[in-house]
Amino acid sequence: MSQGQFTRWAVIASGEGGGRIASQFFSRAENPGIEDRILVMNTNRNDIRNTVDRIDAAITEDADIESTHALEFGDLAGAGNSYHNGRKAAEQDLDRIINRVKRVFGTADAFLHVATLGGGTGNGSIPYVIDQFKNGLSVGESEPWMDSVIHVAMAVWPFYWEPDQRHFNAVCGLSRLLKVLDGGQNADMVILAANSQLDDGGSRQNYDGVNEMIIEAIDLMIGAGRETHGVIDIEDYVTIPSRYGSYHFTPAVATGMDGNIYELEYMFDKAAENPFVPMDVATSQIVFPVVRAPESMIENGEITEPEVYRTFNEWQNKHDLSIAGQASLTPKRGRGSDVDVLLLLGGFDLTPLLDHSMDQHQQVTENLARGAAPGGEGLSDRELQQVMENLEEYRDHNEG
């Protein structure tokens, strides 16, 4: 990352849900940090058409979205909810994916890979694509800037009531984002959000509402590397967790709190009440708090960096935590007194999340062994076993 420059993010989304989340970036007036470095990919022509239409409807200038920001890959016309197929499609078209990334992004410091973990396309392709960018490209394919890119994955857990296959996919997808098959680290950081945690409206799927919350969290995270008063950037976010071997995170967010009324400590508590997956905050091993406040409040000294740190320490004491983490205070345009808080919680015990999916995973694995699970065709017993062992190893190391 060159000196004196803000992190240039690029978004790569694969699959329908991933594409829907990423397309919401287009519907905003400005995307500091991302600009138009956005690529949405899918194996299915109709799905990608829908995404393109959504993007077209959101933006006014008539850029040719389909030939720049959208890419159909593989020859399967959909992955049929099988992660094996999603990965195969990406293998088939890896060179097209790489070439498009070069053309559309030009250069970038960090990639945000967006996928839902319940499906086959995004869940199959994204862990593979990350691995290829990090380890798989030959000298001719890669460009110098790609060597230092940081790969962050934003992964969405299925609703708890969804079919077993979706949960099987999710468990495998989490493992594959965390670790490549041989057990090494894959993504530099894996950020999790669970649909059921963000939308408690029963079986009514409010994707837009969920996606809005995800975008807001990403915004706060990216903002911290952009106009921060302290020095924190995505490199700081990934270095310590990778060293600890605990690099999964979830955002906990509270927005629009009146800074003239509420103490910062109360705002931290409010954020901590809203983690994006079911979890026990006290099991976190690392926390990165980001406080975003109106420029005028910061300039007038109504909210200061030392105060953010003091609050972070007090908040830790209250939760009996003694953890690593760097806080940041970042300004937003305008006046007013609305303050937003993001606690990026990392290294927490994954059990409360996985409890929703392990039985289903087991069920599908058994069906596969009997040759009776179409969504798992092509996956070897050996791979499935390795994927599970990798996840167990990550958890053992992480949860002690």
Ligand X SMILES: Nc1nc2c(ncn2[C@@H]2O[C@H](COP(=O)(O)OP(=O)(O)OP(=O)(O)O)[C@@H](O)[C@H]2O)c(=O)[nH]1
Q: Residue numbers of the site for ligand X (CB under 6 A)?
A: 15-17, 20-21, 78-79, 81, 86, 116, 118-123, 156, 158-159, 162, 166, 195, 207, 210-211
17 vs 278, which CB is nearer to ligand X? Answer: 17
CB of 312 to ligand X, least distance (A): 29
Q: Which does 177 bind (CB under 5 to 8 A by kind): Mg ion, ligand X, none?
A: none
291 beta partners: 329, 341
Least gap, CB of 97 to ligand X (angstroms): 15
Task: Name which of Mg ion, ligand X, none residue 120 binds, using a CB cut-off of 5 to 8 Å depending on partner kind.
Answer: ligand X
Q: For residue 196, give the H/E element and its range.
A: helix 195-198
CB 375 → Mg ion: shortest distance, Å? 13
87 binds, among Mg ion, ligand X, none (CB under 5 to 8 A by kind): none
Closest CA to 73 of 18, 135, 122: 122
The residue ranges of DSSP E strands in 176-312, in sequence order, are: 189-194, 248-258, 286-294
Count CB atoms within 10 A of the CB of residue 265.
Answer: 15
Q: What is the DSSP letter of 375?
A: G
Cα dihedral 120, 123, 127, 130, rounded to 10, equals 100
Residue 162 interacts, among ligand X, Mg ion, none and using kind-specific CB cut-offs from 5 to 8 Å, with ligand X
The edge-to-edge listing of strands for the beta sheet with 248-258 is: 70-72, 38-42, 9-14, 110-116, 150-157, 189-194, 248-258, 338-346, 286-294, 328-332
Shortest Å, Cβ 54 to Mg ion? 14
Which CB, 47 or 188, lies closer to Mg ion?
Answer: 47
Minimum CB–partner distance for residue 58 and Mg ion (Å):
20
Burial class (CB in 10 A: 0-12, 13-18, 19+), 36: middle
Partner whose binding site includes residue 20, from ligand X, Mg ion, none (CB under 5 to 8 Å by kind):
ligand X
For the CB of residue 357, give the shortest distance to ligand X in the complex, in Å: 11
> Per-residue DSSP letters for 140-189?
TT--GGGGG-EEEEEEEEPPTTS-HHHHHHHHHHHHHHHB-TTS-B-SSE
The dihedral sign for the CA sequence 366, 79, 104, 34: negative
Chain position whose Cβ is nearest to Mg ion = 16
Among ligand X, Mg ion, none, partner that 223 touches (CB below 5 to 8 angstroms by kind): none
Q: Tell me the CA distances in angstroms from 13 to 41, 148, 154, 215, 391, one per residue in order.
A: 6, 20, 9, 13, 23
Structure tokens at 184: 């090494």
Residue 175, binding choice from ligand X, Mg ion, none, Cβ under 5 to 8 Å by partner class: none
Residue 159 binds which one of Mg ion, ligand X, none, with CB within 5 to 8 A depending on kind?
Answer: ligand X
The minimum distance between CB 120 and ligand X, in angstroms, equals 3
Q: Which is nearer to ligand X, 118 or 241 (CB)?
A: 118
Residue whose CB is less far from ligand X, 207 or 266: 207
| Shortest reach from residue 47's CB to Mg ion, in Å | 5
Closer Cβ to ligand X, 285 or 357, answer by number: 357
Residues that bind Mg ion (CB under 5 A): 16, 47, 121
Number of Cβ within 10 Å of residue 320's Cβ equals 7
Nearest CB to ligand X, comparing residues 87 and 319: 87
- Whole-angstrom distance, CA of residue 122 vs CA of residue 20: 12
Binds 74: which of Mg ion, ligand X, none (CB < 5-8 Å by kind) = none
- Look at residue 17 and give the partner it binds from Mg ion, ligand X, none, a contact being a CB closer than 5 to 8 Å depending on partner kind: ligand X
Q: Taking Cα atoms as reference points, which of 353, 379, 98, 129 lies closest to residue 248? A: 353
CB of 170 to ligand X, least distance (A): 7
Least distance to Mg ion from the beta carbon of 49, Å?
A: 12
Residue number, 33 or 375, with CB nearest to ligand X? 375
Query: Which of residues 121 and 326 has its CB atom nearest to Mg ion in the complex?
Result: 121
Task: Tell me the residue type at 230.
Answer: G
Q: Which is nearer to ligand X, 128 or 159 (CB)?
A: 159
Token pair 């990919």 in the structure block, residue: 41
Q: Which is nearer to ligand X, 121 or 285 (CB)?
A: 121
